[in-house]
Amino acid sequence: MALPSEARPLDTGVIHDIGYRGYAGPRLGRAYATRALFTQSLRAAYGLGRSGRSKVLPMLLLGVVTVPAAIMVALALSQHQDELPVDYPEYLGMLGLLVSIFLASQAPVLLSRDLRHHTVPLYFSRPITRADYVRAKFAAMAAAQLLLMAAPLLVLYLGALLGGLDFGHNTAHFLYGLVTAVLYALVPTSVALVIAAATPRRGFGVAAIMGYLAISTAVVGVVVGISGGPGNVPDSAQWVALLSPDGLVESLVNQLFDLGSDPGRMHAPGALGAVVFAATAAAMVAGSYALLLRRYRNI
């Protein structure tokens, strides 16, 4: 005989202890997570912690930009010259293509891979925010670029000091070189990161970044050539350097520190030009950062 509904036993759930333990350690929070993401991204830019094939290109480029600096120092000392054959900022200008290759190849590593493998939402689950992610990635790529350019500058500087060359001159121009390296690490890098964040395809990102840097530099070269040639560039033609991140940095640095004796050197035309070039560089970096923030708000 069935029991009335009031007399039936109530269904009760059972909790089983399967051995999981709660985390009782310290909560390191957003700042620690952001620093960890920065460190991991900086290491990834040089292939550290990744496969051996990923290390080949960045390490090769690091060697290629550093070895000629050591050779220049050796030649200057062996020939008893009073100064290095090339100035520090000028040396960075000679590395333009190699630095562009590094930027084009590694910026998509930091951003495009996360988009392609759909790992970005995992970062945003907790504890870091979208702004933390952009800040860490931006700083990591800029630091990677800065390390690439600071290494040969340090070789030139230490070699000059060990060889007994003028301390004051080399220290001042080494600092000029560091300022130039910082600008190169910010201005072209900011634009490259925006391009890399626009596509999950690493190959497309590499081609787009390299294409933009190469075409903008070529346009500047063509306009300079048409306007009178590299030995006689009028001030009216110097404004074309605003179209190229590399040209903008070179012109601004030459004007600020009065570098180069060639009358046809690239430079910001006068004090007004220096202000406009500096404002353009700042706007390019700030605008690119804002575009990155907007891009990741939509992910």
CB 73 within 8 A of CB 169: no
User: What is the b/e burial string over 245-254, where b = at least 16 CB atoms within 10 angstroms of the residue's CB?
Assistant: bbbbbbbbbb
Of the chain, the percentage scoring pLDDT greater than 70 comes to: 90
CA angle 169, 231, 102 (to 5 degrees): 65
Q: What is the pLDDT of residues 60-80, one digit of tens each?
A: 999 999 999 999 999 998 888
Token match 């990102």: residue? 205
Token match 């006068």: residue? 270
Query: Which tokens hold the place of 277?
Result: 């070039």
Confidence tier at 13 by pLDDT (50, 70, 90): low
pLDDT at 297 exceeding the cut of 60 = yes
Q: What is the pLDDT of residues 95-147, one digit of tens each?
A: 888 999 999 999 999 998 888 888 888 887 778 888 999 999 999 999 999 99
Tell which residue, 81, 100, 252, has the closest CA to residue 176. Answer: 252
Give the mean pLDDT of the chain.
86
pLDDT at 17 exceeding the cut of 90 = no
Who's near 96: CB < 8 A, 6+ residues apart? 217, 246
